[in-house]
Amino acid sequence: MEKRRVVDIFTSPGFLVTRLAHEMTVELDRRLQTHNVTISQWKVLMFLWQQEGCSQAEIQEQLGLEGATVTGLVQRMTRAELVQRRPDPVDKRVQRVFLTERGRALEPVLGFLVEEVNVLACKDFTADEQAFFVRLLTRSLHNLTDK
């Protein structure tokens, strides 16, 4: 009878990646709070900084969120004056999401906070180690998503 191998949780890549993601999220969330932005709002802002004027359905698809989640997020972000919704000029049923001046002005500020967290997470890594780490994470992610 073959003996079952017990996985050591503290050396399990899945556990370590999950724990790292959690700790980085907590740290980033703490920093974003100083600008009254949540992690979820930051994700939408990041997307819009690259592709402003998308529909809520496009945001939903690209960020992997539920429709109701995106609707609620965009409503709260509109009240916070981070974004504004405008009807599509061709199809009035479609709402397009655009950045406000405040939402646009946060890009360099929040980008700096994200970079600070990345630097903190990779403290004491050489430049080569950091690049290698990112390559390994990217390759591992592709292993699970490119089926």
Q: Tens-of-pLDDT digits for all 147 residues of the chain? A: 677 777 788 889 999 999 999 999 999 999 999 999 999 999 999 999 999 999 999 999 999 899 999 999 999 999 999 999 999 899 988 999 999 999 999 999 999 999 999 999 999 999 999 999 999 999 999 999 886
For 69, phi and psi rounded to 5 degrees? Answer: -65, -45
Architecture of domain 39-114: Orthogonal Bundle (1.10)
Residue 96 tokens read as 């397009």
**Matching residue, tokens 């409503």:** 75
CA distance 28 to 117: 6
Report which DSSP code applies to 130: H
